[in-house]
Amino acid sequence: MDETNFWQIVERVHRAAGDDMELKCRIIERDISALPAAEALDFARLFDTMMGRAYRWPLWGAAFVINGGCGDDTFSDFRASLISRGREAFESAQADPDSLADAEFDAEAWFYEGYQYAVGRGVKTATKGERPSPAPFSDPSGQDWKEDEVYGLFPRLAAKFG
């Protein structure tokens, strides 16, 4: 499985479930469970890669503004939910986090705790229990920000959520 196949699965599930994250989690878990073990492991590796790519200060700052605060766990949920929306949403947010102001927001869908767990459960089913732990992240990439200044870095998001 390559990135194209990964995103095809993610986008198919997103089209089927939209912002219904519980449904989305059931579908992604089912679809990954049906993959051959090697492909399920590749899916997990690519999911972990995308989580790592999104582990960036600018994206964390945007999530902070949207949510009125954002700790480590909440940012993990945000990144997984962003991935669940598909490649275009993921890449647009990476290129310009302030562009998230154009998206419709349901805080429950954007900060949903569970998509990453559904991926893990699907992989464990497909592999009969094997799901390697992702490498821990060190520090986010990009320019760090201060909480009292972060709203100024994302003027469109601040206007919408601040």
In a domain, 32, yes or no: yes
Condensed to tens digits (0 to 9), the pLDDT of residues 53-104 reads 999 999 999 999 999 999 999 999 999 999 999 999 999 999 999 999 999 8
- Domain holding 61, by residue range, is 3-130+152-161
In a domain, 143, yes or no: no
In a domain, 142, yes or no: no
How many domains, the chain?
1
In a domain, 36, yes or no: yes
CA–CA separation, 117 and 32 (whole Å): 12
In a domain, 26, yes or no: yes
Kindly list the distances between the CA atom of residue 8 and the CA atoms of 29, 101, 110, in Å, as whole numbers in the listed order.
15, 25, 20
Name 141's bridge partners.
56
The pair phi, psi for residue 137, each rounded to 5°, is: -80, 145
CA–CA separation, 94 and 36 (whole Å): 31
pTM, full prediction: 0.94
